[in-house]
Structures are given as C-alpha cells and as structure tokens.
A and B are shown apart, each in its own frame.
Chain A
Amino acid sequence: MEKAIRKQFFIFVLPTLIAFTAGFLLPFLMGIGLSFCRFTTVTDAVFTGLGNYRKIFSDATFVHALWYTALFTIVSVITINVAAFTIAMLLTKGIRGTNLFRTVFFMPNLIGGIVLGYIWQILLNGVLERFGKTLTYSSAYGFFGLVILMNWQQTGYMMMIYIAGIQNIPDELIEAAKMDGAPAGTLLTNVIIPMVMPSVTICTFLTLTNSFKLFDQNLALTAGEPSNRSQMLALNIFETFYARTGWEGAGQAKAVVFFLIVAAIALVQNRFTKSREVQQ
C-alpha cells in the first residue's frame, strides 16, 4: 500500500500544487513581469523596461519608508523576543495559574490586525487626548504605538514557541549544571539559551518578517499620517499603486524590491541563528 501510494505521490500533491501555482506562483511571476510594464489593469500591459525601477528611487517616500520600517523591525524584534522569552521563563517555573496566564497571553494573537489597529488607535488616542495630542501628531507617536501594538499581539505567540523549547531541555542537564554550582545567570546564558536556540531561530525569523511586512496594523493605526512619515514599506507600495495615474508599475517594482530585501534579510538571519544552534 505504502509503495503504491508513493508511486502516485504526484496525484496527491497535485491539488495543493495547482492551488499554490494559481494562488501564489503565477501572481508572483506576473507581478515581476508587470514591474517592467506600464498598465492600468493587470491583463493589459505594455512593456517599458526599467523605467519603473528608476521611478522608485526618485520617490523620497520610498526611501523614508524603508528606513522607518528597518528601524521598526529592529526595535520590535528585540522587544518582542525579550518579552516573550522572559514570560516563557516565568511560566515554566510552575507558578499557580500557569495555564490561565498562557491562554491570556496567547489570546491577542487570535485577533486580526485591522481590528487590533483600530482598537489600539482608540486606546492610545484616549490616553494622548489628555495631552491634547493624537497618534498622528508626529511619526514618533505612530512608531511607538506600532511597537506597543505588535508587542501586545505577537509576544504571546512567541512565548508559546519559547515555552515548548524550554520544556524540551532535559531536566538532568539543568540538574547537573545546578549540582556543579552554576549560578542562575550562568545557567541561563550557558545552558538554557544555547538549548533553546532552535526556538530563537524560529521566533526571530517570524518577528523579523512579520515586522518588515507589516501592513494591516499600520493602515489601521495611522494610515501613514502625518505626511507619510509613519508609512511603512508595504503601505507605501499599496499607496503607490493606487494614488497616481500611471504609477501602477512603479508600485509593482517596489514590491519586487521589497521581496528581495525581505528574502535577503530572512536568509542572513536564518544562517546566523542556525549557526548558533547546538546538538543535544
């Protein structure tokens, strides 16, 4: 039976493969093709060469969005992972109500980005109103608003991954370290962290790409205001596509550049954290 199925593997793969091709691969290739074209609708394009790519670097908002996104990514990757790891450590110590806490921390992750964006907009504006300001008063408010939002949303998810990693550390290893008289600090840096490195790889990868690709939350929280100063890359691409006649191709070109950047960062990160993983 197993052998027979193995022979027919292609038939089993086919449905997913077709869906993947139609839903991802084809649009992706089409997108790359369209970045070299001028078009109004995607089925009716005229080839124009590299013109779109020249346009995007003359667009100051793109460069600003790039830096803004990079900065946001750095800040949120660090804060989310530190917070998630800390909570995971606390919640693996057998405190009473651990399960309740885990559920509560995980819950925000179940709410969609747009909804979260609007909820946090109301919350943060409510606080800022006391000072006669709003989130879109300056891009710094939007920035920290987004950082808070993303931490709130993602910490729980990353925490679960870290908890799984921490629980996987063999008890005898920790016991042995303790018996050798390792203080808590050493235990953390020399035993626990090296042992959860696979979790770190996954968590940094997820937070890094999520932060870089952030769209819904950005759109709902500030929509790029004021003056596009809180606009991140994905939103910038979206706006380029729709806000000007004849710039659809430039938006598409930005999307290709965006893809290359995200792919490059993810690859480098993966290689780096993987090299730190240890064998049990």
Chain B
Amino acid sequence: MKRNTISVMLAAAVAVSAFAGCGKKETDDERTPGGSAADAVQQTTEGTEAPGNGISGNTPSSGEGSVYYLNFKPEQNDAWQKLAERYTDQTGVEVVVITAADGTYEQTLKSEIAKTDAPTLFQVNGPVGLRNWEKYCMDLSDSALYSHLTSEDYALKNDAGEVAGIAYAIETYGIIYNKKILNDYCTLDDAVISAPEEIRSFETLKAVADDIQERKEELNDTFGYELKGAFTSAGMDGSSDWRFKTHLANLPIYYEYRDRGISSTDAIEGTYLNHYKQIWDLYITDATCEPGLLSGKTGDEAESEFGMEEAVFYQNGTWEYGNLTNPDNGYLVTAEDMSMMPVYIGVEGEENQGLCTGSENYWCVNSQASAGDQQATLDFLNWVITSDEGRDAMANSMGFTTPFDTFGEEYTADNVFIRADAAYTAEGRTPVTWNFSTIPSETWKNGVGSALLEYAQGTGSWDNVVSAFVDGWAEEYAASHR
C-alpha cells in the first residue's frame, strides 16, 4: 500500500513536471504567433495576458470587449504599440497589437484566426486577398470609419456589395531619383537634358540613364561621386523582387485595363508587355551590377546604393522615406536631394502620367468575433482616426497618407515623395492606380519574377516572361477559382 502511494506520487510528480513544461511551451507559442514566424514582433499592453480575456483592472468605459490587432507593417509596430497603450490608459479597453514578421502575414493570420482568441482586427491586401478571408470580414457599411472615407474607392466591397474592408493608408511609388546628381549631370557638356524635369517620357529617361551609365567616370571625377550606375541593382532576392514582379508589372496591367475599360480580368492579353520589356532592359543594363548577380541582390543593397550616391535612380515608394533619411543608416543622400518621378514605360501620352498611387492595406473586422469585441474594435478604430493622438500617430509617427476626412491639413504626412505626388496631381497628371491587387495569386508573381530573372541573366528568353504573364494569369485565375 505504502509502495503504491509512493509510486503514484512519483508518477504524479513526473506528470506535473511534464505538464509544467507543456504549459510553458504553450505560453511561448502564444507569444510567437504562427510558430514559424518566430521572430514576430509583439507586445501586449497588459503584460502577457492573452487577448479576449475581458477587461482587467481599469474601469471600462465602452462596454465589454477587447481589441486584438494583427498588424501587417513591421516598420509601424512601435507606433501601434504606443497608440494601443495610450488607448488602454484612456478607456481601460485592452488593445493587443501583434505584428507578423515581414512576409509572413498570411501564414500568421491563418494560424491566429483559427484560435479561440482570434484577431478582431486584421487586414487584407485587396480583392484577391479578400476572396480568401471573405467569411471573416464583417460588413462595415454602418461603421463610423466608413462614413469618414473621402472616397468610395477606398472601400473594398465583396460580391454582395457589402463593405468588407476599408483602406487606411494611401501609398505612392515611382522612380526615386537623386536631384543633386541629376542637376550636376545636366551641367556636363552635351548632357541630354538641361533640367531633371525634362524627363517626361521613357525615351528621355533612357537617353539620360544611358548617358549617365556611360559617363559615370566623368561624373565621379568632376563632382567627386562614387557612381556605379544609373539605376540601383534590380535585385531579385525575395526582399526586392516585388518591386518588379508586382509594382513594375502594375504598369502594363494598368494600361491594358485602361484600354479595355475594365478593372479586373480572368485573362490578361499582355498588350503592353513590350513596354514592360523596355523598362526592365533599362533597369538591368544601366545598373550598378552585372545582370548575372541579380538573383542574390537584396532590397537593402539597392537602398544603400541609392543612399550612398552610387546610383541616381531607384524604383520604390513613399514608405522608403524613413529608411533613406534615418540618420542611423549614415546615408549621404539628404531629403532635399530626393524626389520621385513616374515610371515611364514608353506608352503614348505618358508625359501626363503621374505616380502610382493606391492602397493594399485594408482593415477588416473579424465577423466571427463576439459582438462586444467587434464593437470595441470599431470604437478603437474610430478613436484612431478622430482623436488627436490617433491622427498624430497615423500621420506623423507612421507617416501614412490616409483616406479619411478627419485628417485635415494639420495631420498630413509630410515627406518629399508625398509632396512630389501632390505636385504631379496639382499639375493635372493622371495617377496610375494600383491594379496589382487583382493579380490572381502569389504563384503568378513568382512565375513572372523567375522569368524576369532568367531573362536578365541570359538563361531564359523574353518569351518565357510573356508566357508567365499571359498564360500564367489564365492558369492561376482558373486554379484559384476552381
């Protein structure tokens, strides 16, 4: 009997210690959502408490419920954490912000949303993303958030016409250029242009880039630069390839949609692919590196080439402003030296083309969350876009241009690229819309990216790009609609 007791106690001790191990592991898992996304950045506003456990401590002012925001943009994580903390201090409503590690948002969302304490607020990237998450998006047409939108265009609607997502950040991309170097170039003998503003077509852009590429030694000797090429490396590493397989690919898609008068399609014709080839040829020829090395070149390398004045042109967007001007990076280029020009691909009438402006960041409220959590989430969002703290954080800390009428002059994000965009629009140029959110799948982008890379390094022909672009589109559309 005594022995039995001992053995049972022993067994219990073993079990308890084993479970203690299990328990710890579970908490760890919760702290790093998605498992594989181990480097996910996250903090809760109230220690390690899991979301959805109701309100603790402070007196709640807006009913029950809590907010769990699964944030997409790692660069804005700190600002969101601070904002969430501020909101909790003011209202007592718990707000948890978790940021998925770069490039793992879909994975993280997939595993997070299956949990009991699922995100109440998440985001999709446009119509294609919405198709995946439609079931989880509640109708926002009665929300205050929706009523503050400046344009219907910024609401993402599902097939039933319900407002499933609301854009919260408008972004712009184009060709970032170094004004100082370009101006210095213009003073050279026989320069193709006499002022940077004269570049208003692909033809001029190419002439200038070719000339800079050819005369970079002359520029270096005369002005003391260390130019390596006209364009930064068109890196096809995963940290950079989206600039070409998604953002650059948007231009031929945009022009085709415009000609056909459509906003999405099940089969792209590729009528502007010759233009796509032109600009890609330019990127890889007048560049800082040999095309054979592109596959290994990263986004950071391109950024630093531009920052260290080793290149004049750099295709990227408004979000790069922070990195380029961050003193910690030690870049030579200053805010005043930078500006942005449209991506000219040689289409007729492109002298009136503006920058590419749009959004792929839509807030969605989880339709499967409890009514209390949903209300808490909507209240939080409303606070973000109407309160002084919220607007200040969105416009200044995060640097977003927002589509809400509550952000007046006072809360306008200010950087040279946003100003350039405003100037182009004021001039009457037509902004290029973001149509890449209608790209049928990630697989399509990967196919085009790989074909672009193989073409660049000479192991594949342009026909493969055309086939990945046109046939790939039809295949992917069919594959994801089966």
Contacts and interface: CB of A to CB of B under 8 A. Distances in A.
Contact of A12 (B14, B111, B294, B443): B14
The contact size tier of chain A is: 35 or more
A11 B15 contact: yes
Contacts of B131: 245
A43 B479 CA distance: 23
A89 B19 CA distance: 45
Given A12-B11, A40-B135, A4 B3 contact: yes
Interface residues of B, number: 48
Taking each of A121, A125, A134, A223, which has the highest tally of chain B beta carbons within 10 Å of its own beta carbon? A134
B14 A136 contact: no
B91 interface: no
Contact of A138 (B4, B15, B459): B459
Interface in B461-482: 476, 479-482
Interface stretch (A73-81, A100-108, A225-233, A259-267): A225-233
Given A225-B450, A227-B451, A245-B128, A11 B110 contact: no
A133 B450 contact: no
Interface string A9-52: 00110111011000000000000000000001111100000000
Given A135-B295, A244-B479, A16 B18 contact: yes
Contacts of B451: 227
B135 A243 contact: no
A121 B298 CA distance: 13
A59 to B, nearest CB: 9
A226 B238 contact: no
B398 interface: no
B53 interface: no
Nearest to A15: B18
A247 B475 CA distance: 13
Contact of B114 (A44, A132, A133): A44
A129 B293 contact: yes
A275 interface: no
B54 interface: no
A134 B292 contact: yes
Contacts of A16: 18
B133 interface: yes
B221 interface: no
A8 interface: yes
A1 interface: yes
B293 A227 contact: no
Contact of B457 (A125, A137, A245, A247): A137
Nearest to B110: A41
B3 A227 contact: no
A4 B4 contact: yes
A137 B453 CA distance: 9
List 7 A-B pairs, minimum CB-CB distance, nearest first: A15-B18, A227-B450, A11-B11, A136-B295, A243-B442, A41-B114, A132-B292
Interface of B: 3-4, 7-8, 11-12, 14-15, 18-19, 22, 106-107, 110-111, 113-114, 128, 131-133, 135-136, 236, 238, 290, 292-296, 441-443, 446-447, 450-451, 453-454, 457, 459-460, 476, 479-482
Given A40-B133, A43-B114, A242-B107, 18 more contacts: A8-B8, A11-B15, A125-B296, A132-B292, A132-B293, A133-B292, A134-B296, A136-B453, A223-B238, A225-B295, A226-B454, A239-B443, A242-B442, A244-B443, A245-B131, A246-B132, A246-B479, A246-B481
18 contacts: A4-B3, A8-B11, A15-B18, A15-B19, A40-B133, A41-B110, A41-B114, A42-B110, A42-B111, A42-B114, A43-B114, A135-B295, A135-B296, A136-B453, A137-B292, A227-B450, A245-B132, A245-B480
Interface of A: 1, 4-5, 8, 11-12, 14-16, 18-19, 40-44, 55, 121, 125, 129, 132-138, 223, 225-228, 239, 242-247
